[in-house]
Chains A and B, each alone.
Chain A
Amino acid sequence: MKKKNMKDSKILLSHGSGGKAMISLIKKLMLDKFDNPTLNELTDSAVLKSTGEKNLCFTTDSYVVNPLFFPGGDIGTLAINGTVNDLSVMGAKPLYISCSFIIEEGLDLDILDRITTSMAKSARRTEVEIVTGDTKVVEKGSADKVFINTSGIGILQKELFLSKNKIKAGDKIIINGEIGAHGLAVMSNRENFKTDIKSDCAPLWGLIESMLSVGGVKFMRDPTRGGVAAVLCEIADIANFGIKIKEESLPIHENVSSFSEILGLDPFYIANEGKVIAVVTEEKTSSILTKMKKHPLGKEASIIGEITEKNKGKVVLETAIGGKRIIDRLVGDQLPRIC
């Protein structure tokens, strides 16, 4: 197969959507070049090994959401909670955040004020400190209002060892609540629909800490861009097991179902910002769920599937009517259908 000429190719929006196009881009242009053992683990946060009892976890993320303010949150809450969650799903207690702003010339000061107020509130809620930062202003047209990057450092107990290598057939897959709200909340503004759907944007450390205290948690991820489908496909792929999911087990609020139907979208692929998917041992599943339900962010916690020997690398969905189909990652963005 002829190698594509780099000069002829351009970055498309689908390269940023969490699907196959993005994965392929990152592999070719970044992973293969940066190549090192820490990076090659490809975890949500990098684990920086130390000689002491604890390791550090380090993560970074950029936030470019449009619109800046949406029902249930804004770019500021996302910037803090998103990075906090990337640390939390590693089992690391989030401690310190950096933030850098790239601001478009002409942005209303009031907007920036609201965003930083949000960030301060979110940081206090999670007990993380924003300890360093940077601010740049670019000419009008060079950025879309404001882009925020946050990096985070957390601390990880060494005996707490979450890894894809621990996953075994029979393990259960659980989630803390209803899916699809964030992506739709952001979209509802853009598509001129009126809904009550609010983003689920929230910091997960408190919930995750309580789950870890029970024991039995093997692996976690937060289903952001690409949705639950992307996480399940990733787990099946990297653990090299199959995953069996039941459509009727997926917790979806009625208004999320309806809005997705209208736009022709599949909630399975819609971004979430306050959800964690965990692979847990069968024996501890019940106690973990009980613990989760006591936490405000885990009231709707439930089992959505299990790890199987069969169908290695694949996610098999039993549909609502008892049929079967395979779930795959999307290539780029899910586009509203009319057809």
Chain B
Amino acid sequence: MCLAIPMKLIKIEKNKGIVELSGVKKEISLDLLKEVEIGDYLIIHAGFAIEKLNEEEAKKTLAIWEEIAEVQKQ
């Protein structure tokens, strides 16, 4: 049971939030997360945010591979 997508938090109303992905908006529950801020990317599963995406780590994963790809080219 794993289908979940990163969506951007654009509004917070108590324990509910509005998230957005390329113009698609949905109200979701923030009950499973401790602290969130507008602008956070949240992993959304069946109407709930189950985790916050770590943007630093996200950039790192791609950077490592891009570096390896460069080295392989040489």
Would A and B touch once assembled, by the CB under 8 A criterion?
A: yes
Enumerate chain A interface residues (CB-CB to B < 8 A): 192-197, 254-255, 257-259, 261-262, 264, 337-339
Contact A194 B25 (CB under 8 A): yes
| Residue contacts A-B, CB under 8 angstroms, 11 given | A192-B27, A193-B25, A195-B25, A197-B23, A257-B22, A258-B24, A262-B5, A338-B1, A338-B45, A338-B46, A339-B1
- Chain B residues with CB under 8 Å of A338's CB are 1, 3, 45-46
Q: How far is the CA of A319 from the CA of B46 in the complex (A)?
A: 27
Most chain A CB within 10 A, of B22, B44, B45, is at: B22
Interface positions, chain B 20-49, Cβ under 8 Å from A, are 21-27, 44-46
Of all chain B residues, the one with the shortest Cβ separation from A191 is: B26
A270 CB to closest chain B CB (Å) equals 14
Enumerate chain B interface residues (CB-CB to A < 8 A): 1-3, 5, 7, 21-27, 44-46
- Chain A residues with CB under 8 Å of B27's CB are 192
CB contact between A258 and one of B1, B23, B45 (< 8 Å): that residue: B23
Of all A-B residue pairs in the complex, the 4 with the closest CB atoms, nearest first, are A258-B22, A194-B25, A255-B23, A258-B21
Contact B25 A264 (CB under 8 A): no
Q: If the complex has contacts A338-B45, A338-B46, are A255 and B22 also in contact, measured as CB distance less than 8 A?
A: yes
Given contacts A257-B22, A261-B21, 17 further A-B contacts (CB under 8 A): A192-B27, A193-B24, A193-B25, A195-B23, A195-B25, A197-B23, A255-B22, A258-B23, A259-B24, A262-B7, A262-B24, A262-B44, A337-B3, A338-B45, A338-B46, A339-B1, A339-B3
B54 CB to closest chain A CB (Å) equals 20
Q: How far is the CA of A337 from the CA of B45 in the complex (A)?
A: 10
Contact A254 B23 (CB under 8 A): yes
Q: If the complex has contacts A261-B21, A338-B3, A339-B3, are A192 and B26 also in contact, measured as CB distance less than 8 A?
A: yes
